[in-house]
Amino acid sequence: MSTPLFEIDDLHVVADDGTEILKGVTLSVGVGEVHALLGPNGSGKSTLASALLGSPEYRVSSGSIRLRGDDITDWSAEVRGKAGLFLAFQYPQELPGVSVLNFLRQAVLARRGEEISVLDLRNSILRWMERLGMDSKFADRYLNEGFSDADKKRNEILQMVLLEPDFAILDETDSGLGIDGLKIVAHGVQEVRSDRPALGVLAITHYQRLLDHLQPDHVHILIDGVVVKSGGLELVERLEADGYEGWR
């Protein structure tokens, strides 16, 4: 049996004040698979995303996180990013004074460990901006400054394209978006996967509507810090009918 691309094994995570938020999360994502993690507010979804990327706000008290078979539980966020892990934020931050082009140049340098010419990078950015439906002028604007919610999310997908991760975590990327925005995000993810079919994705969301567009291979339900059920899209149908109360 081949090694899964990404594994979370009995993960327990506590906050700075010692409160246990995740109480034994286990799931496994194969190469090229899309998994969706759904749960109500306060279930621990964003804590999981932060813990997977090594945020200092949370501490793994037990369990493990593995990428391509390597235990990355104790790795820093920077090392995890260089190793091929990517997080698309729920609320992307603005960086006044730093253009999208310059931000991506530094990020790509850190990820690949080698210089890339500004011309080559710009050409790549412009090609992908067209594919993602972004105005090319955004390349020279300050990162996320004055961007609409949809454009911020497009920019997150653009970063995912250029950094070429092996595994991407989408932390409620659909938050604050309408129907058109959802389609934009889902289209962007599918465009990236068409170029990099081995990419694994964990889409964390509060809503079922994103999954209509992403069509994940597996669905997981997170309640009170524990994955209470895993399966296919039939779980989404049950959610639509009964809500989360059926798993409490």
Span 64-96, pLDDT tens digits? 999 999 999 999 998 999 899 998 876 667 788
- pTM exceeds 0.85 for this model: yes
pLDDT band at residue 38 under the 50/70/90 scheme: very high
Q: How is the chain split into domains, by residue range?
A: 6-247
- Please, what CATH class does the domain formed by 6-247 belong to? alpha beta
What is the rounded radius of gyration, in angstroms, for the C-alpha atoms of the chain?
18
Across the chain, mean pLDDT equals 87
- Residue 131 φ/ψ, nearest 5 degrees: -65, -30
Q: Give percent of the chain above pLDDT 90.
A: 38
pLDDT band at residue 36 under the 50/70/90 scheme: very high
